[in-house]
């Protein structure tokens, strides 16, 4: 990984998994390694008909078995290099797909207290006096990403509501 890319996002600690996951996925895609971490199959056959669940599972299992061992090792190394020491316990598997799934499970916020805290932070967020509109929108979108990662559905209408409720009084109109 280049130093310029490494400086763009911090190593994964005990927080901010959704942002880290997105950045890490981008690094792996750019390096040609994402295909050994996430194996996807299409739902349709070449003739346009739908594949059965068994057909999709068979195809996915076949693609998983064909993954390149060297690319898997590279992907695992990239993941390990982008976490803090406290996360290394989740990185013991040799399969980067398993590591990715472990990290997702460990960092998924599922408690009702976490859900309520995220919703409250989202709905009570306020734009700072010196914050640009772009930064304000980005902050709200980051909260949306964290909420969606926790399994909370956030509608576009709620996003607009949070964005407008958090504006300064100087944005009011009559």
How does pLDDT run across 103-140, given as a tens digit for each residue?
888 877 655 677 888 889 898 999 888 888 899 999 99
Q: pTM here? A: 0.64
Q: What pLDDT, on a 0 to 100 scale, did the predictor assign at position 63?
A: 92
Q: How far apart are CA 155 and CA 151, in angstroms?
A: 13
Band the pLDDT of 96: cuts 50, 70, 90: very high
Q: How far apart are CA 69 and CA 73, in angstroms?
A: 6
State residue 42 phi and psi, 5-degree precision.
-80, 155
pLDDT higher than threshold 60 for residue 53: yes
Buried b (16+ CB within 10 A) or exposed e, 122-150: beebebeeeeeeeebeebbeebbbbbebb
Domain assignments of the chain as residue spans, ordered by start: 3-107, 112-171
What HEC string does 25-56 produce?
A: HHHHHHCCCHHHCCCCCCCECCCCCECCHHHH
Q: What pLDDT, on a 0 to 100 scale, did the predictor assign at position 110?
A: 57
pLDDT higher than threshold 60 for residue 174: no
Q: What pLDDT, on a 0 to 100 scale, did the predictor assign at position 34?
A: 95
Q: What pLDDT, on a 0 to 100 scale, did the predictor assign at position 1?
A: 46
Band the pLDDT of 8: cuts 50, 70, 90: confident
Q: What pLDDT, on a 0 to 100 scale, did the predictor assign at position 173?
A: 57
């Amino acid at each position: 990984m280049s130093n310029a890319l490494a400086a763009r996002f911090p190593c994964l600690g005990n927080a901010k998994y959704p942002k880290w996951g997105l950045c890490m996925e981008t690094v792996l895609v750019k390096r040609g390694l994402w295909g050994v971490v996430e194996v996807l199959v299409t739902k349709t056959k070449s003739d346009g008909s739908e594949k059965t669940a068994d057909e999709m599972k068979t195809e996915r299992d076949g693609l998983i078995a064909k993954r390149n061992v060297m690319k898997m090792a590279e992907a695992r190394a990239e993941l390990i290099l982008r976490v803090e020491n406290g996360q290394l316990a989740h990185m013991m598997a040799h399969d980067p797909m398993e590591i990715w799934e472990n990290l997702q499970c460990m960092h998924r916020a599922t408690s009702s207290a976490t859900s309520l805290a995220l919703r409250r932070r989202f709905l009570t967020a306020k734009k700072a006096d010196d914050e640009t509109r772009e930064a304000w929108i980005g902050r709200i979108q980051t909260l949306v990403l964290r909420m969606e990662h926790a399994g909370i559905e956030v509608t576009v209408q709620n996003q607009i509501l949070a964005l407008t409720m958090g504006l300064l009084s100087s944005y009011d109109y009559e």
